[in-house]
Structure 1
Amino acid sequence: MLKIAIVIGSTRPHRNGEQVGQWVHQVATKRTDAEYTLVDLVDYPLPLLDEAMPPSFGQYANEHTREWAATIGQYDGYVFVTPEYNHSIPAGLKNAIDFLFAEWHNKAAGFVSYGVAGGVRAVEHLRGTLAEVKVATVRTQLVLGLHADFENYQTFKPTAHHEEVLGTVLDDVVSWSTALATVRK
Structure 2
Amino acid sequence: MSAQHSPSEHRYTLAVIVGSTREGRFAPVVANWFTRHAETHPHIDIDVIDLDVIRPYELRGGTEAFASFAKRVDQADAFVVITPEYNHSFPAPLKHAIDLLHPQWQAKPVGFVSYGGVSGGLRAVEQLRLVFAELHATTVRETVSFPLAGKPFDDEGELRDPAPVARAADALLGQLTWWAVALREARLARPYGA
Asked if 1 retains the 8 angstrom alpha-carbon contact of 2:59 and 2:66, the reply is no
Aligned-partner Cα distance in 1 for 2:93–2:157: 23
Q: Which amino acid aligns with 2:131?
A: T
Runs of 5+ consecutive residues of structure 1 not aligned to the other structure: 51-59
Asked if 1 retains the 8 angstrom alpha-carbon contact of 2:33 and 2:157, the reply is no
Cα distance change of structure 1 residues 10 and 156 upon mapping to structure 2, 3 Å threshold: farther
Runs of 5+ consecutive residues of structure 2 not aligned to the other structure: 1-10, 189-194
Q: 1:182 aligns with which of 179, 182, 185?
A: 185
What TM-score comes out, normalization by structure 1 length? 0.87
Q: 2:85 corresponds to which residue?
A: 84
Aligned-partner Cα distance in 1 for 2:157–2:31: 13
Bigger radius of gyration, 1 or 2? 2
State the 4+ residue runs in structure 1 displaced beyond 2 angstroms.
Answer: 60-65, 147-152, 154-159
Asked if 2 retains the 8 angstrom alpha-carbon contact of 1:16 and 1:156, the reply is no
Of stretches 79-88 and 61-70 in structure 1, the one that deviates more from structure 2 is 61-70
What TM-score comes out, normalization by structure 2 length? 0.83
After superposition, give the CA deviation of every residue in 1:108-165 in whole Å (9 maximum; x if it has no partner).
111110000200000001111111111110001011111642569x966352100110
Q: 2:175 aligns with which of 167, 172, 175?
A: 172
User: Offset at 1:70?
Assistant: 1.0
Asked if 2 retains the 8 angstrom alpha-carbon contact of 1:5 and 1:78, the reply is yes
Q: 2:44 corresponds to which residue?
A: 34
> Does residue 140 of the first structure (1) align with residue 142 of the second (2)?
yes
Of stretches 33-42 and 70-79 in structure 1, the one that deviates more from structure 2 is 33-42
User: Offset at 1:48?
Assistant: 6.6
User: Offset at 1:183?
Assistant: 2.6
Asked if 1 retains the 8 angstrom alpha-carbon contact of 2:59 and 2:65, the reply is no
Aligned-partner Cα distance in 2 for 1:96–1:78: 13
Q: 2:101 corresponds to which residue?
A: 100
Q: 2:115 corresponds to which residue?
A: 114
May I ask how many residue pairs the two structures share in their alignment?
175
Q: Which amino acid aligns with 1:45?
A: R
Aligned-partner Cα distance in 2 for 1:157–1:67: 33
Aligned-partner Cα distance in 2 for 1:78–1:20: 15
